[in-house]
Amino acid sequence: MLIWHYGKDGQFMVKSAYYLELTRRWTNAASTLGLGEGRYSQEHQDKWDIGWQSRTPPKVRMFIWKTCQEAISTQSDLATRIGVSGGVCAFCGVEEETTMHVLLQCSFARQAWALTLLPWRILSTAATSTKEWIWLTYGSLGA
């Protein structure tokens, strides 16, 4: 008889395998960011769990998840996939259109953020990736 050590009752469930893989990915992401493991990983796993269980609309949760995975379609990604140069932002026409640029750095994005009720400190972060920005923002909003 095989026992699945990652489940509550020792039986394999897709849900427990999913959480195991999610934990592994966040641990790897923490190491990649140079933020260590252990407490950091558990803290972010807890935030991720709270985020998925929150009353946030599913579309918003999925957008946040895709943003963390760098799975938002941008001109830069398209240019890389089809092997052409370009990938300039359609809004400002100045910089390369990356997820970070579209959400934070573009002048149009900054104007859109200015119209929200969110505090400006979420834009003044020194995050180097969208995933890092999401976590810093999540923490600064008291989540």
- CA atoms 44, 45, 46, 50: torsion sign: positive
**What is the distance between the alpha carbons of residues 98 and 70, in angstroms, rounded to a whole number?**
9
Model pTM? Answer: 0.59
pLDDT in tens, 82-113: 877 778 898 898 899 988 899 888 999 888 88
**What is the distance between the alpha carbons of residues 116 and 95, in angstroms, rounded to a whole number?**
24
pLDDT in tens, 27-80: 666 555 554 444 445 655 666 665 666 677 888 888 888 888 788 888 888 888
**What is the distance between the alpha carbons of residues 129 and 1, in angstroms, rounded to a whole number?**
45
Q: Is residue 101 within 8 Å of 87, Cβ to Cβ?
A: no
Q: Is residue 125 within 8 Å of 136, Cβ to Cβ?
A: yes
Residue of higher predicted confidence among 14 and 2: 14
- 26 closest CA partner among 103, 134, 99: 134
